[in-house]
Structure formats: C-alpha cells, structure tokens
Amino acid sequence: MTIYYTKDHEWIRVEGDTGTVGITSYAAGQLGDVVYVELPETGAKFARGDDFAVVESVKAASDVYAPVSGSVLEVNSALSEAPEKVNDAAEGDAWFVRVKLTDSGELSGLMDEAAYSAYCEGL
Amino acid sequence: MVETRTETLRRTALYPLHVEYGAKLVPFAGYEMPVQFPDGVKEEHLWTRSEAGLFDVSHMGPSFLTLAAGTRADPAAHAEIAAMVETLVPSDIRGLKPGQARLTVLLDGEGGILDDLIITRPYEEDRQGELYIVVNGAMKDQDWGIFESALAGRAVLTRADDGVLFALQGPKAEKVLSAYFPACADLKFMESRRIVMHGETFVVSRCGYTGEDGYEVWSGAAAGAELVRLLLDDPCVRPIGLGARDSLRLEAGLCLYGHDLSPEISPVEADLAWVIQKRRREAGDFPGAARILRELKDGPARRRVGIRPLERAPAREGTEIFVGGAAVGVVTSGGFGPSIDAPVTMGYVDAAHAAPGTKIDLMVRGKARPAEIASLPFIPTRYKR
C-alpha cells in the first residue's frame, strides 16, 4: 500500500489495482470551511487530469482532478451529509472515491509523501 | 519595447494589525486586504452574528463634500449642497435631518447604477454645507471624479481615504464601542455624530453591511489604528475578513456593486426604489428619470430576487436560471450562508417569475438544480431603529 500525491493536491492510496482518492489536508486548509462536495456516479470513467469532483467552500468552488485514469467503484456518500469532514479528516475518513486503475504505470508520474511535503513547503 | 507595469497594491493603516492577527491577504479593490483570519470564514461569520466583528473597510471611499464658500452654521447651507448632489442621485438629500445618513445611488443618464453610496448630513451646526459621502472602494476614483467635474467651482471634494474606516458589527458592538464613545449608544440606525476624543476626530455612524446592529467609524490613520487595537483586545471582538463580510451581506440581502448592481441595472430593477423618496419621484429631476419613473409606474422587466437552492449545492455568480426549460435570469451573488446553514443566492429574473415561492431551476455545472424565489433578507436584520 502506497500513497501518491499530485501537484493539484489530490492523494491516492493504492492497493493492487484499486485506489482511494481524496484531497490533501494542505488543500483543505487552503479552501477553508467546506460546505459541499459533488462526487461522480459509481461507474463513471475518467482520464488522468479530468475534473471528477467539485469541492465548495463558503466562498468558492474548486475542481478536483483525477490523479490517474480509472473508473469509479464507490463514492463516499457520507460527504454529502457532512462535507465539513473534509476539513477534519481530508486524508482519512473524508476520501472522495475508490477507483479501479486503468494503468498503474501512471503512478510513476506522481509524488511520494516526502516529495509532496517538499513541494508544499515551496508554495 | 514592451512596457511593463507592476500594479502596486495599497495597504491600509490597519495592515500591520492584519498581519499580527494572522490574516490571509488578497488583492481587493487595489489594496492588499484580509480575506480571512485563522478562525476561517464560517467562524468569523457566526462570531459577528453572536458577538462583535471588526472589519477594516479603509479601502472604501470616505470623503467630505463642502460648499466652495465653506461650511457655515446655517440650514440654508445644507439646502445648497444638497441641491448640487441631487443632480447626481435620486434620493432626498435636502430632507436629511442633521446627523441622518441615507443609502443612495449614483446614476447615469439612462438611470443605470454607477455606484451605491451613503450620504450623511453632519449633525454639527457649524458643518451645514458639508456632506460626508462614503463610496465603494473599487469605484472611488470614478465616483469622486463625477462629483468633482459636476460640481467644479461650487463644491470641494476632500478625499479622506488616507485615514481609517472600520466597521464594528454584531449584538455586542454597542456595549464595546460605547466604552470609548458613550454617545454612540444613543444613535439609531443611520444616524451619525462627529466625536472628539483626546483631540482626535471620529465620525461615528450607526450603520453597516452585515444585517446586524453596529457602527462604521472614520478617523485619521494613527488614531484609528490605536482605537482598533484597543477594540480587538476586548474578548467580544474578533477581526473579520472579506470572506465573511460577503456571506454576512448576502444573508442580509444587501447588494455588492459590480455583482448585483451595475450600469446595466436601474434602482427599480435592483429593488432599491425605496432610495427614491416621494419628493424626488414627483419632481422627476434626477438622471435617467424617464426610465426610472416608467419602471415605477409599469414595473421593471426584471427584478432582483433572493433565491434559495433546495439542495446543498451553492449556485455561484453567473449561474443561469430557468423556468420550465426557458432561461429567465442569472445569479449575481451566490455562496453559502453559515447562519442559515444553507446556500444563499441573489439574482435577476424576469418580472413574471419574481414572486417568492416561484419554483426555478439553477443550472449548476450543466445540471438543473431545484430552487425557489425567496424573500430577502434570508436572516432577520437587527438594525436599531
């Protein structure tokens, strides 16, 4: 099990050919109070870099981009009732979707935790 | 050669306090302004509704318009300066009582709104012949230019945006501010006084833009910064950023210029016909009167309305509004209202669909979301009348 990160502040935790995707604590902190999360339907397919979800704070809406290509196996429906979970547990309970990876080779283009931490410090 | 130009952002006299209190700063109306503090927008919003929030609005355009011959202790001087200003705005300025403030709009020749502003007649006897005028920060150069060119030789406009203008808003505002200005407790909503403390002048007005009771205070830079520092030491008071200022005014049903108001929109369409008092309607002597009087008589083609999305998804500015598949309007302000814990939206719809309770669809990211027209404000306002 490995966690990878994108420059757009998504994370993906990979187990075999499935991955759990969310936004990072850094991103949640930047957004501020999350009031709404729009998730895709189960079965939806997307390519790496597609916007697949939207997270809204009091002030603004932000797109969430797919870290890798895949199809949606499950969405975290708890977020529709309790979007504020994203502020409390962005990298835990507040995951967005579970996906089946189309091409695990895409993971090599992502950052590991150390690289992502260094990337955030440079922002 | 390519000319390069770096936009230099101005800073208000309260900038050091923003930094000290951990503000997240963003460019706004040409200034570097706090969008939020570490509490975050939601907490700041709720704090203002239950305690007292302090807002730096020094980026706005406070100014004093004075008869070229100077102020004098004579009510006729007020009538003189009021008559000049009434050529630019449709409100009854002459009829202001000493110390009374009024919301009005600057109009173009077609009755379009060039800005919204607050005009105050000084209470003090020796200041008749002067008006205290506060315009929007992003529009101040335009507005001041309009006053200066229209009234050249007859009145002098003194820009006072090098001082401090702050708002203290919320149910604790009176208690907190009256420790410094006991007289402020006796003011009612839209009343103003000039108060001198330790040799420094403060213009204290009971008004604001949150729907709460509260005050706006103008003063010189050093005196204002010192007072704000003292106020922030009160456990009831927290600094509030532009993010919460926006969600507070939206819940209160108040317009933001450049979003809900523009030169394309008339005061009647904007549901601001109440700023045009009877005497001015009867005289019809203001810019764009033909259109405005016609809209008052026949009703405008479109109206500003409140909108309550029936789902959790906020609808942002620019969202299209549909009824039965036909486009009937557009959202001009939209976000989330922490006090009502639901999305809140304002926009313009064709007059036929403007009645509260009308079912509409908001097209959010290509998907129709159910919503209905709602009465404004979304929260009960708590002005001290």
Quick one: tokens of B7? Answer: 């936009």
By C-alpha distance, the chain B residue nearest A36 is B313
- Hey, what CATH topology would domain B15-60+162-251 get? Gyrase A; domain 2 (3.30.1360)
User: Are the beta carbons of A80 and B336 separated by less than 8 Å?
Assistant: no
Which among B86, B49, B59 is positioned nearest to B277, based on CA atoms?
A: B86
Identify the pLDDT of residue A123: 87
What residue has token string 């159910």?
A: B370
User: Are the beta carbons of A61 and B335 separated by less than 8 Å?
Assistant: no
User: Are the beta carbons of A36 and B336 separated by less than 8 Å?
Assistant: yes
DSSP state of B11: -
Residue A18 to residue B21: CA distance in whole angstroms: 44
By C-alpha distance, the chain A residue nearest B344 is A58
Identify the pLDDT of residue B6: 54
Is residue A123 included in any domain, yes or no?
A: no
How would you write B142-202 as a 3-class SS string? HHHHHHHHHCCCCEEEEECCCCEEEEEECCCHHHHHHCCCHHHHHCCCCEEEEEEECCEEE
By C-alpha distance, the chain B residue nearest A31 is B40
User: Are the beta carbons of B314 and A56 separated by less than 8 Å?
Assistant: yes
Residue B380 Cα, gap to closest chain A Cα (Å): 20
- For chain A, the domain total comes to 1
By C-alpha distance, the chain B residue nearest A32 is B40
Is residue A81 included in any domain, yes or no?
A: yes
Please provide the average confidence, as pLDDT, over all residues in chain B. Answer: 96
Which among B226, B237, B128 is positioned nearest to B173, based on CA atoms?
A: B237
User: Are the beta carbons of B336 and A32 separated by less than 8 Å?
Assistant: no
Average pLDDT for B106-117 = 98
What ipTM, to 2 d.p.? 0.84
Identify the pLDDT of residue B75: 84
List CB contacts (< 8 A) between A58 and chain B: 41-42, 45, 243-244, 247, 335-336, 338
Residue A112 Cα, gap to closest chain B Cα (Å): 28
Is residue A91 included in any domain, yes or no?
A: yes
Statement: residue B5 has pLDDT above 70: no
End-to-end CA distance of chain B: 60
Q: At what angle do helices B41-50 and B242-251 cross, to 10 degrees?
A: 60
Q: Do domains B15-60+162-251 and B61-159 have the same CATH topology?
A: no
Residues of A with CB under 8 A from a CB of B: 32-33, 35-36, 38, 54, 56-61, 80, 83
Identify the pLDDT of residue B147: 98
Average pLDDT for B166-179 = 98
Out of A36, A38, A58, whose CB is closest to B243?
A: A58
What residue has token string 């200034």?
A: B31
Residue B168 to residue B182: CA distance in whole angstroms: 15
Domain regions of chain B by residue span: 15-60+162-251, 61-159, 301-374
**Contact assessment for residue B214 and residue B206, using Cβ atoms and an 8 Å cutoff:** yes
List CB contacts (< 8 A) between A31 and chain B: none
Statement: residue B151 has pLDDT above 60: yes
Q: Which domain holds residue A47?
A: 2-103+111-116
pLDDT in tens, B16-47: 999 999 999 999 999 999 999 999 999 999 99
By C-alpha distance, the chain B residue nearest A35 is B336
Superfamily of domain B61-159 in CATH is Aminomethyltransferase beta-barrel domains (3.30.70.1400)
pLDDT in tens, B119-147: 999 999 999 999 999 999 999 999 999 99
pLDDT in tens, B64-85: 999 998 888 888 999 999 999 9
What residue has token string 């002005």?
A: B383
Angle at B87 between CA B268 and CA B153, to 5 degrees: 150
Identify the pLDDT of residue B4: 47
- Region label for B136, one of left (φ > 0), alpha (ψ between -120 and 50) or beta (otherwise): beta
**Contact assessment for residue B383 and residue B188, using Cβ atoms and an 8 Å cutoff:** no
Identify the pLDDT of residue B72: 81
Q: State the CATH number of the domain containing residue A33.
A: 2.40.50.100
**Contact assessment for residue B131 and residue B102, using Cβ atoms and an 8 Å cutoff:** no
Residues of B with CB under 8 A from a CB of A: 35-36, 40-43, 45, 243-244, 246-247, 312-314, 316, 335-336, 338, 343, 365
List CB contacts (< 8 A) between A36 and chain B: 312-314, 336, 343
Which among B90, B111, B377, B358 is positioned nearest to B255, based on CA atoms?
A: B377
Single-letter amino acid code for the residue at A114: A
User: Which residue ranges of chain A lie beneath pLDDT 50?
Assistant: none
Q: DSSP assignment of B261-289, as one string?
A: B-TT--TTTTT-GGGS-HHHHHHT-STTH
Identify the pLDDT of residue B2: 45
Sheet of strand A45-46, all strands in order from the earlier edge strand to the far edge: A2-5, A10-15, A18-23, A97-101, A70-75, A45-46
Three-class DSSP category at B307: strand
Q: B1 pLDDT band (50/70/90 cuts)?
A: very low
Identify the pLDDT of residue B3: 45
Is residue A14 included in any domain, yes or no?
A: yes
Residue A80 to residue A84: CA distance in whole angstroms: 9
CATH 2.40.30.110 is right for the domain spanning B301-374: yes
Out of A32, A38, A80, whose CB is closest to B36?
A: A32
User: Are the beta carbons of B312 and A59 separated by less than 8 Å?
Assistant: no
Out of B40, B314, B316, whose CB is closest to A33?
A: B40
Up-side HSE of residue A79: CA atoms within 13 Å toward CB? Answer: 28
Average pLDDT for B169-194 = 97
